[in-house]
Amino acid sequence: MERYTPAQALAAFGRSAAIAYERMGMVVITSVAWYFATLASVTAAGVTIWALPLAVVLVAPLGVAVTYFGNLAVHREDAGLHELWRGYTKFWARAMALGAVNLAVVLILWVDIRAIMAARATWIRMLAGAWIYLGLFAGLLFMYAYPVMVEQDTSPWKAIRRSVILILDNPAYTLTIGLLEAILLAVGVLPTVLLLSGSKAAGYLQFVGVGAYAGFNAVFRNLATVRVLQRYNAARESDRERLQKQLEAEKMAGGIPRSEGKPVEITWLGHACFLIAAGDGTRILTDPFDDTVGYDLPAVPADIVTVSHGHFDHSNVGVVQGSPEILNSPGGRSFGGVRIRGVQTYHDTKGGALRGHNIVFIIETDDITICHAGDLGHVPSDSTVQSIGRVDVLLIPVGGTYTLDAKGAREAVRKLDPRIVIPMHYKTPDLRLTELESPERFLAGLSRVERTPGSSYTVQASSLPRDLTAVVLGYRRK
């Protein structure tokens, strides 16, 4: 599973700006609600100890209501004052509980830092640095906790626990989000601080600052949290999003006529090795193996050879006849009527730390897109799915141990949404890699399964099935 990067955090920031612009009315409503709630609590309590319980009772529930409002915007759901009130009443008790925990953590850290700094011993004062880092972690924790509680409609305690996991598993992404959050906070609060300090001109910037912080920030925090939850398939899907997917699927299936194209033949040579014959005669060989694997060596002529990674059972290019083009890196190239793109992924769930990188190759020819997943070892992230694009035929490993297992492969199929899926890299009587599983567990979760007597299967753009179909190719020794 890929770690989320700072680049993805910045992409979420840009997408949030677009959503906020489209939902300007929501931004204004959330800004006004947040501003007046905060102003009312501060005015009522003044700078006294009573400001703290008021912050829990009044500001925290309204802050969660604003978070709920932003969550609706992220999921492309309509929202108005009624939904803002609904978010307030729905999460009122949980918001107070989470706000109380948040406030208690802040007070404990503040008191500890003050006490440590007041100590005479230098080595004790040095501990204040560790407490500052702990405070940073707490800030990031609650940055996630409120949106997680709303997104998953869960308890404050589960939201906190899951937020810890999000931070530890996505450190670079989280720190970038936190930095952007701090900038927004400064933009939102600084004009008010300057006004209270005597700068009347700063008062004119209050609405801009509050709008940026309370309005745009509600969208940004939710989108950032939803994006990282999608990495774990733990984000919700709204009715509007489901409807849009259905409409897109129907449009692809029958709404837009596809060109006839020529038939494309896919022949399985064993393991992850396929010979793909395009309509113009171009021959693409994928992941040739050596003689230790157990299958007959794929000593066949080819124009192009794709190598997903350098392991012995995927990179034996010397056995290929002719002088083929060797593709073993990310990027795109065209060969007549065939275009091939490589998208970098990983051979494991630890970002390549265990088995290195893996390249997924996308072969586009005759209006058909064939995706060879190589030794994909993790469920692809949303950004990877977007890079791969449309998939008509998916060749995916299902044997586990070194790659996706049955469950992971089915989840990858769900995300890539092909019309035909052909399992590969699994246990057979000829394979000498005994650690792999058979394809039956993977196939048990699919409703349509076809088994071919031979090792070849022909596909054509005009006759692709409307529903997902698994095709199990046979293998026979020569």
Average pLDDT, stretch 147-163?
92
Query: What is the CATH class of 257-472?
Result: alpha beta
Q: Convert the pLDDT of each residue in 324-354 to its tens digit.
A: 899 998 888 888 889 999 999 998 888 888 8
What is the helix (H) or strand (E) element at residue 335, kind and residue range?
Answer: strand 331-335
Q: Convert the pLDDT of each residue in 203-220 to its tens digit.
A: 666 656 665 666 788 888
Q: What is the share, in percent, of the chain residues with pLDDT greater than 70?
A: 81
Average pLDDT, stretch 164-175?
90
Of the ranges 34-38, 83-87, 166-170, 186-190, which one carries the lowest mean pLDDT score?
34-38
Measuring CA to CA, how many Å separate 187 from each of 182, 183, 208, 344? 9, 6, 8, 38
Confidence of residue 248 (pLDDT cuts 50, 70, 90): low
Q: Does 288 score more than 50 pLDDT?
A: yes
Of the ranges 178-182, 220-224, 244-248, 469-473, which one carries the lowest mean pLDDT score?
244-248
DSSP class per residue in 198-257? T-GGGGGGHHHHHIIIIIIHHHHHHHHHHHHHHTTT-S---HHHHHHHHHHHHIIIIISP
Q: Convert the pLDDT of each residue in 403-436 to its tens digit.
A: 999 999 999 999 999 999 999 999 988 888 888 8
Overall size of the chain counted in residues: 478
Confidence of residue 148 (pLDDT cuts 50, 70, 90): very high
Average pLDDT, stretch 171-197?
79
What's the chain's average pLDDT? 82
DSSP secondary-structure letter at 260?
-
pLDDT confidence of residue 8: 82
Q: Does 134 score more than 90 pLDDT?
A: no
Domain positions in the chain are: 6-246, 257-472
Q: Does 35 score more than 90 pLDDT?
A: no
Question: Structure pTM?
Answer: 0.53
Contacts 24+ apart (CB under 8 A), 50-57: 52/103, 52/107, 55/99, 55/103, 56/96, 56/99, 56/100, 56/103, 57/96
Q: Are 135 and 178 in contact (CB under 8 A)?
A: no
pLDDT confidence of residue 193: 65
